[in-house]
Structure 1
Amino acid sequence: MTTETVLDRTAEVDLTNCDREPIHQLGEIQPIGFLIVLTADWMISNASANTPDFLDVDERGLIGRPATDIMTKEAIHTLRNRLALLRGADALERVFRMALQDNGKCFDIALHMSGSRIILEAEPSSEHDYGDATGTVRGMVSRLEQAGDMPAFFNEGARQVRALTGFDRVMVYRFSADGSGEVVAESAKGGIGSFLGLHYPATDIPKQARELYTRSLLRVITDINAEPVPILPATDEYGKPVDLSLSVLRSVSRIHIEYLRNMGVGASMSISIVVEGKLWGLIACHHYSPRCPSFERRSVAELFAQMFAMRIEARERKLIVEYERRARDISDQLLGAVASDETLLNDPDWLSQILTSAIPADGVGVWINGNYAFSGLTPETGEFARIIQALNTTAAGRAYATDHVASLVPPREGKESHIAGLLAIPISRTPRDYVVLFRQEIIRSVRWAGDPHKPVEYGPNGPRLTPRQSFEEWKETVVGRSQPFTDSEMRVAETLRATLIEVVLRLSDEASAERKEATSRQELLIAELNHRVRNILSLIRGLIRQSKPADGTSIEDFVKVIDGRVHALARAHNQITDDHWGPAPVKNLLEAEAAAFLTTQKDRLLLDGPNVLLNPQAYSTLALVVHELVTNSVKYGSLSVETGEALVEWSVRDNGDLHFCWRERSGPEVAGPPQRKGFGTTIIEHSVPYDLGGTAKVAYAKEGVRADFVIPAKHVVQAGDIAGTRIYLPDAPHTPVEHASRLLHGKNVLLVEDSLIIALDAEDLLIRLGADRVNTEASALGAIAAIETEKPDVAILDINLGDHDSVPIANRLAELEVPFIFATGYGEQSQLPDHHKRRPVAQKPYTLASLSRRLSELLGVGEEA
Structure 2
Amino acid sequence: MTPTVDLSNCDNEPIHIPGQVQSHGFLIAIDAKCIIKFHSENITQFLPDLPGDLLGRPIHDIEPLIGANEPPDFINQLISFGRSNKSFDQTNPFSTDIQGTPFYLIINVSGPLYLLEFEPVASDLKTDLQKMIGRSISEMLADKNLNNLLNNSATQVKNVIGYDRVMIYRFAADGHGEVVAEARNNELDSWLGLHYPASDIPKQARELYKHNLTRLIANVHTTPSKIVTTKQLSEDPLDLTHSHLRAVSPIHIQYLKNMGVESSFSISLMYKKELWGLIACHNYSPRFIDYKARDSAKLIGQILSSALEFRQDEANQHLQDKFNSSVNAMSKNMLKNNSIEDALTMPDVNILHATDATGVVLIYDNNTYKIGKTPSDEQIQQLVGWITENVNDTFYSTNELPYIYPEADAFKKVASGIMVLTLSAELSEYIIWFKPEHLEIVTWAGNPDKPAEMAADGTLKISPRHSFEAWSQEVSGKSVPWADEEIKSVTRLRAEVTYAINQKAGAIRMLNERLKQAYEELDTFSFTISHDLKNPLSTIKGYAQMLTKTSNLESRTQDVLSKIDVKVDKMNSMINEVLEYSRIGRLDLNPVEIDVAPIIAEHIKDLKVVYNADHLKVNIGATPPVQGDPTMISQVFANLLSNAIKYSLPSGSPEVHIDATDNESEIVYTIRDNGVGIDIKQLPHVFELFKRMDNVQDIEGTGVGLAIVKRIIEKHNGKIWVDSKLGEGSTFFVAFKK
Same fold flag (TM > 0.5):
yes
Q: How does 1:156-195 map to 2 (within 5 A)?
A: 156-195=152-191
Q: Counterpart of 1:116 in structure 2: which amino acid?
A: P
3-state secondary structure, aligned to 2:370: strand
Q: Counterpart of 1:26 in structure 2: which amino acid?
A: P
1:258 match:
254
Q: In the comparison of the two structures, how many residue pairs are matched?
A: 535
CA contact (8 A) 2:258 2:463 kept: no
Q: How does 1:174-323 map to 2 (within 5 A)?
A: 174-233=170-229, 237-323=233-319
Which of 40, 53, 56 is the matching residue for 1:48? 40
Alignment of 1:120 onto 2:116: yes
CA contact (8 A) 2:343 2:350 kept: no
2:630 match:
none
Shift of 1:130: 9.8
Change (3 A) 1:719 1:155: farther
Shift of 1:718: 9.0
In structure 2, C-alpha distance between the alignment counterparts of 1:107 and 1:580, rounded to whole Å: 76
3-state secondary structure, aligned to 1:239: coil
3-state secondary structure, aligned to 2:350: helix
CA contact (8 A) 1:96 1:107 kept: no
Q: Which moved more, 1:403-412 or 1:179-188?
A: 403-412
In structure 2, C-alpha distance between the alignment counterparts of 1:51 and 1:285, rounded to whole Å: 29
Q: How does 1:48-197 map to 2 (within 5 A)?
A: 48-60=40-52, 62-68=54-60, 69=62, 70-71=65-66, 72=68, 74=70, 79-83=75-79, 84-85=81-82, 95-96=92-93, 98-101=95-98, 103-126=99-122, 136-197=132-193
Q: Counterpart of 1:504 in structure 2: which amino acid?
A: I
In structure 1, C-alpha distance between the alignment counterparts of 2:458 and 2:94, rounded to whole Å: 39
In structure 2, C-alpha distance between the alignment counterparts of 1:87 and 1:499, rounded to whole Å: 51
Q: How does 1:794-813 map to 2 (within 5 A)?
A: none
In structure 2, C-alpha distance between the alignment counterparts of 1:400 and 1:87, rounded to whole Å: 48
Shift of 1:80: 4.1
Alignment of 1:474 onto 2:466: no
In structure 2, C-alpha distance between the alignment counterparts of 1:164 and 1:462, rounded to whole Å: 40
Q: Counterpart of 2:47 in structure 1: which amino acid?
A: L
Which of 403, 426, 432 is the matching residue for 1:436? 432
Alignment of 1:501 onto 2:511: no
- After superposition, what is the alpha-carbon deviation per residue over 1:632-668, rounded to whole angstroms, capped at 9, x for unaligned? xxxxxxxxxxxxxxxxxxx9xx9xxx9xxxxxxxxxx
If you compute each CA radius of gyration, which structure gives the higher value, 1 or 2? 1
Alignment of 1:21 onto 2:10: no
Q: Counterpart of 1:46 in structure 2: which amino acid?
A: F
Structure 2: unaligned runs, 5 residues or longer = 536-570, 588-738
1:773 match:
none
In structure 1, C-alpha distance between the alignment counterparts of 2:234 and 2:53, rounded to whole Å: 22
In structure 2, C-alpha distance between the alignment counterparts of 1:250 and 1:216, rounded to whole Å: 11
CA contact (8 A) 1:441 1:480 kept: yes
Change (3 A) 1:363 1:65: same
In structure 2, C-alpha distance between the alignment counterparts of 1:107 and 1:5, rounded to whole Å: 37
Change (3 A) 1:246 1:65: same
Q: How does 1:388-537 map to 2 (within 5 A)?
A: 388-392=384-388, 393-397=390-394, 399-411=395-407, 418-428=414-424, 430-431=426-427, 433-454=429-450, 465=462, 468-509=465-506, 511=507
Q: Counterpart of 2:479 in structure 1: which amino acid?
A: S
Shift of 1:115: 1.9
Shift of 1:609: 6.6
CA contact (8 A) 2:125 2:161 kept: no
3-state secondary structure, aligned to 2:241: coil
In structure 1, C-alpha distance between the alignment counterparts of 2:418 and 2:412, rounded to whole Å: 16
Shift of 1:284: 0.9
In structure 1, C-alpha distance between the alignment counterparts of 2:201 and 2:585, rounded to whole Å: 51
In structure 2, C-alpha distance between the alignment counterparts of 1:500 and 1:443, rounded to whole Å: 34
Alignment of 1:379 onto 2:375: yes
CA contact (8 A) 2:424 2:430 kept: yes
CA contact (8 A) 1:169 1:189 kept: yes
Alignment of 1:34 onto 2:30: no
Which of 336, 339, 348 is the matching residue for 1:340? 336
CA contact (8 A) 1:200 1:452 kept: yes
1:648 match:
none
3-state secondary structure, aligned to 1:163: helix
CA contact (8 A) 2:345 2:351 kept: no
In structure 1, C-alpha distance between the alignment counterparts of 2:586 and 2:356, rounded to whole Å: 37
In structure 2, C-alpha distance between the alignment counterparts of 1:191 and 1:134, rounded to whole Å: 29
Shift of 1:346: 2.9
- After superposition, what is the alpha-carbon deviation per residue over 1:686-742, rounded to whole angstroms, capped at 9, x for unaligned? xxxxxxxxxxxxxxxxxxxxxxxxxxxxx9x9999xxxxxxxxxxxxxxxxxxxxxx
3-state secondary structure, aligned to 2:406: coil
In structure 1, C-alpha distance between the alignment counterparts of 2:234 and 2:519, rounded to whole Å: 69
- After superposition, what is the alpha-carbon deviation per residue over 1:71-105, rounded to whole angstroms, capped at 9, x for unaligned? 3472665544543235899966664572245x432
Shift of 1:234: 6.9
Which of 341, 353, 357 is the matching residue for 2:353? 357
In structure 1, C-alpha distance between the alignment counterparts of 2:122 and 2:227, rounded to whole Å: 24
Give me the identity figure in percent: 31
In structure 1, C-alpha distance between the alignment counterparts of 2:28 and 2:240, rounded to whole Å: 12
CA contact (8 A) 1:86 1:112 kept: no
Shift of 1:457: 5.4
Shift of 1:42: 2.3
In structure 2, C-alpha distance between the alignment counterparts of 1:127 and 1:262, rounded to whole Å: 26
In structure 2, C-alpha distance between the alignment counterparts of 1:50 and 1:297, rounded to whole Å: 24
CA contact (8 A) 2:125 2:162 kept: no
1:331 match:
327
- After superposition, what is the alpha-carbon deviation per residue over 1:412-457, rounded to whole angstroms, capped at 9, x for unaligned? 7977764211122233465453211111112221111111111655
CA contact (8 A) 1:254 1:461 kept: no
Change (3 A) 1:381 1:352: farther
Shift of 1:367: 1.3
CA contact (8 A) 1:331 1:496 kept: yes
Q: Counterpart of 1:400 in structure 2: which amino acid?
A: Y
Shift of 1:341: 3.4
CA contact (8 A) 1:224 1:257 kept: yes
In structure 1, C-alpha distance between the alignment counterparts of 2:478 and 2:586, rounded to whole Å: 40
Shift of 1:141: 3.0
CA contact (8 A) 1:99 1:107 kept: yes
In structure 1, C-alpha distance between the alignment counterparts of 2:336 and 2:279, rounded to whole Å: 54
In structure 2, C-alpha distance between the alignment counterparts of 1:293 and 1:187, rounded to whole Å: 19
In structure 1, C-alpha distance between the alignment counterparts of 2:348 and 2:155, rounded to whole Å: 45
Change (3 A) 1:386 1:94: farther
In structure 2, C-alpha distance between the alignment counterparts of 1:412 and 1:230, rounded to whole Å: 55
Alignment of 1:366 onto 2:358: no
